[in-house]
Amino acid sequence: MASASATGHNVLLVSIVLLATVCACTAESPYAAGLSEDYYQKTCPQAASIVDAYVTKFLSKDRNFAGAFNRLQFHDCWVGGCDGSVLLNSTTTNQAEREAHVNFGLRGVAEVDEIKAALERVCPGVVSCADILILAARDATAKVGGPTWSVALGRRDGVNSTALMADTNLPFPVLNFSGLVANFAAKGFGAREMITLSGHQQFGFNALDLLIEKNTPAFESFSAHTIGRTHCNGILPHLYNFTGKDDATDTNPAMDKNFAVFLKKHCPQGNTTNTIFIDSTANTFDRAYYKNVLQGKGIFITDAALITNPVGKKIVTRFSKPGKSFFTEFAAAMVKMGNLGVLTNTEGEIRRTCQFVN
C-alpha cells in the first residue's frame, strides 16, 4: 500500500510539473509572433547601441527630435502596420505616405536614414528601418525624462506606401471623444490606451475636404503632446471659426480664455506655418499635458475632447497626478503599438536605405 501511495504521489508531482511547463510555454507573449528581444544578438549585436548613440547625437542638437521620433513610430504603425512604410519616398506613379495631408511637417526621416547608413556599414542588410523607428522612439522617450521599455525586434520593411492609406487611417484633429475611441478601437486599443498615447502621441489626422481645401496643408498630427511642437495649422480650428460662424472671435469655449489670447498672438488667423511648443515643458516627457487639458489649455480640439466624457476625465485626472501609472501604461501601450501588422521571416525586405525600396 505504501508503494502504491508513493507511486501515486510521484505521478501527481510529474503531472503538476508538466502542467506548469505547458502553462509557461503557452503564456501569452507581449510581442507579435516572430519578434524577440535578442533578434540581432548574433547578426548585429551592436544594433541597439548604434541607434542609441545616434539618438543621443540628434537630441543634443535639438531635443525636439524626441517628439519627431515618437510621431514617426505612431504614423508608421497606424498605417498598414510597423513596416517602415512612412519613410518611403513618392515615385512618379505613386504618392507615398509622407505626402499625405496627415504627415505635414513630418521630421526625422533624414536622421533615420543616417542611423540606417551607420548600421549598414557594420551589419549590411541586417537591421530593418521598421526596427530603427521602434528603437529610436523608445530611446528618445527615455532620454527626455520618459519611461523605457523592453523592445522586441525582427520586423521587416514593407514595400507599399500610399498617401491615401495614411489619410484614411490616422485620426483627424477635430474628432470628438467617441470618434477617437472608435479610431483606436479599430486598431485594438481601448479608451484608456487612447488617452495614454494622447499624452505623448500627436495623432495623425484625416484631412477631410469639407474641412480643409485640397491645396491647403493639412493639420499637423499629434507627434507628442507631452513632447514636441506643432504648426499653427493644427491649432487654427480651435481658435477661429470653431462653430462655422466665420468669425475671428469664434473660439472653442472649452479653451481657457487667456490661453486662447496667447495662442492667437502666435497663430494669427490664416497663418499655417508658424510653430509653437505643445506645452510649457515641450522637450520633457512629463504629466504637464494632462494638467493643461484639465485647465482648458490643450492645444488641439481633441485635447479638450478627452474630458468631455466622464470616464475620459477621470483617466486624465489620474494621469495628471504623481505616480507610476501613466509611465507604466504608456510603456505598455508603446509595446502593443509596435506589434501592429509586423512583417517577419521572409515577408517584405530589409531596405538598404530607408527612403527607397531595394
Instruction: Decide: 301 and 43 in contact? Cβ < 8 Å.
Output: no
Residue 173 labeled ligand binder: no
Q: Which of 75, 101, 200, 238 is catalytic?
A: 75
Q: Closest Cα partner for 158 from 185, 121, 137, 131?
A: 131
Residue 79 labeled ligand binder: yes
Residue 84 labeled ligand binder: no
Check if 75 is active-site: yes
Residue 113 labeled ligand binder: no
Residue 97 labeled ligand binder: yes
Enumerate residues 6+ apart whose C-beta is below 8 A from 325: 318, 319
Alpha-carbon separation of residue 82 from 165, 184, 339 (angstroms): 14, 16, 7
**Consecutive H or E run containing 303:** helix 301-305
Residue 338 labeled ligand binder: no
Residue 286 labeled ligand binder: yes
Give one word for 201, left, alpha or beta, with left for phi > 0 and alpha for psi -120 to 50. beta
Amino acid at 354: C
Q: Report d(CA 40, CA 59) in Å as an integer.
A: 25
Residue 171 labeled ligand binder: yes
For residue 230, the 8-state DSSP code is E
Residue 247 labeled ligand binder: no
Cell numbers placing 335? 509595446
Residue 217 labeled ligand binder: no
Q: How many Å is the Cα radius of gyration of the chain?
A: 23
Residue 148 labeled ligand binder: no
b/e burial code for range 4-22 (CB count within 10 A of at least 16 → b): eeeeeeeeeeeeeeeeeee
226 SS3 class: coil
Instruction: Decide: 135 and 201 in contact? Cβ < 8 Å.
Output: no
Inter-helix orientation angle 47-61/65-77, to 10°: 130
Enumerate residues 6+ apart whose C-beta is below 8 A from 290: 199, 316, 317, 319, 320, 326
Cell numbers placing 234? 493644427
Residue 112 labeled ligand binder: no
Task: Detail the residues annotated as belonging to a binding site.
Answer: 76, 79, 81, 83, 85, 97, 171, 225-226, 279, 281, 286
Task: Detail the residues annotated as belonging to a binding site for heme b.
Answer: 225
Task: Detail the residues annotated as belonging to a binding site for Ca(2+).
Answer: 76, 79, 81, 83, 85, 97, 226, 279, 281, 286
Just list the catalytic residues.
75
